A and B are shown apart, each in its own frame.
Chain A
Amino acid sequence: MAEHGVANIWRKQKSMYSIIGSKCTTCGEHYFPPRPVCPTCRRKGQLEEYQFKGLGKIHTFAVVRQAPEDFKRQVPYVVAQVELDEGARLTAQIVNIEPENVEIGMRVRSCFRKITEYGQGGIIVYGYKFEPTMKVTGHD
């Protein structure tokens, strides 16, 4: 199936490995993943590459207990919407914490992890997950 291709991950490496999105210099809005058009300014928009700092807080989350094949080995796992400090939100797993301790509003920072593997002999997909900053740096 299409989503099991190699090229479709390869061409997104920059964004998936380093959280590179875009910033519109006209309105100052940040976007992740990168957008081809600024939805606010459209033709007047001017998008440039922007590397997010990888810091933010948990906007909402779920504890996944039933997952498709690619994620079966990881259940239960926490997946969340993280609101990045620059304003954009993204969807990522939360790691390095027990599911029952995750809370809305918790400060998190990005880390580089294996996301999934595409079956036997398929590629291994890497990218961002997030972990509590408290655990790593000792402060919010």
Chain B
Amino acid sequence: MSRRVAIIGVGMSEFGELWDKSLRDITLEAGMYSIFDAEISGSEIDAIIIGNMSAGRFTGQEHLGALAADMGGLGNIPAYSVEAACASGGAAVRHAYMAIKSGEHDAMMVLGCEKMSDVNQTEAMKTISVASDWEWEGLFGATFPALYAFIARRHMMEYGTTEEMLAQVAVKNHANAAHNPWAQFQRPVPIEFVMGSGMLADPIRVLHSSPISDGAAGLIMCDEKTAKKYTDTPIYIESSTQASDTLALHDRRDICTADAVVHSSKSALKKAGLKIEDIDVFELHDSFTISEIMLTEDVGIAEKGKGGQVVLDGLTEIGGQFPVNTSGGLKARGHPIGATGVAQIVELALQLRGDCEGRQVEGAEKGLAVNIGGTGATSIVHILGR
């Protein structure tokens, strides 16, 4: 009989270009806030798991597990990091879920972090592109925005997706981020501004793209019995699933469908005994606005090809039937790569607790997060419930 896994504390550093803070500062901040939020003692934590993509290239520091245990003063407990490119944070959450479910650990600290602004922009771009198939895509000049431009251009041709649809995702997510105190861009942007922003790789513009960010997010996760000691209203992880696809985008069956997302979201809903209509709030990986459009289709909010239209119709706004990225998403909350998957879970937990003033989805009971790595080679899905 396996145990239920609960989230009893959440914490975030601010997201942004944090020139005055180091990787260890922000990671410690997220961890400390999550401990304070859970009102748990550090001595109760029996392991630390960190999601991080590339601290070695971004900052020169690896071995983040030991660093976190040391900086947090958590002593001799096991601590290590996991990597799955942009899905590293989701991988950390899933890893803790499995470790607690198995009975190996009772209370874990889950962290996600990335410090991207310590290198210059071109160096950061290069590091981001190693999340794709570096040898056969990046080496030939396909930047990360170019790979998403491949998807966008094809989606536009096959389904009539428009530039306005791509832009509207950014407009919606910025409007949400205006109410998120941790977000990198806490301000709305008008659609003309998005549509007139500079080109990275046609048809992908700067404001279709998530930014370069520093930030960290943390969770305290534990088994049901331990959770009951600290709170009467724990948030539960109803299911955790993961799937893979080809590393290179050019090897996909269909570049406009993330098969890994289709598989992992289907099985997550099945394991939780839920249908897509039962989900009240979503965090979908919008590293580029086209990926939010594609993911709304792949999780089943919209039919294939209609992902752009549902954004224009307001279906995915707060107040719509399927609110997506109430936090502002990667676009406006920011995308410190390894932190993102954990920050998505923080947002859903806050939504289910009713703690999202200004951006609250009223009465939200179930939330679903999709965290993808690279151009969709990894997909990690979590469903939360209260």
Contacts and interface: CB of A to CB of B under 8 A. Distances in A.
Contacts of B149: 61-63
A78 B199 CA distance: 13
B146 A81 contact: no
A12 B135 contact: yes
A133 interface: no
A104 B150 CA distance: 11
B250 A90 contact: yes
B335 to A, nearest CB: 17
A13 B201 CA distance: 28
Interface stretch (B14-22, B123-131, B302-310): B123-131
A118 B107 CA distance: 48
A67 B250 contact: no
B201 A115 contact: no
Nearest to A115: B140
B interface secondary structure, majority: helix
Contacts of A62: 142, 145-147, 149-150, 153, 201-204
A74 interface: yes
Q: For the side of the interface on B, what is the size category?
A: 35 or more
Interface string A65-82: 111111110100101110
A57 interface: no
B219 interface: no
B127 to A, nearest CB: 9
Q: For the side of the interface on A, what is the size category?
A: 35 or more
A92 B140 contact: yes
Contacts of A70: 126
B134 interface: yes
Given A62-B149, A63-B199, A66-B125, A127 B140 contact: yes
A79 B250 contact: no
B250 A68 contact: no
Nearest to B153: A60
Given A79-B140, A91-B250, A68 B125 contact: yes
B105 interface: no
Nearest to A125: B139
Given A67-B141, A81-B150, A91-B136, 8 more contacts: A61-B153, A62-B202, A64-B146, A64-B200, A66-B125, A68-B125, A89-B250, A91-B140
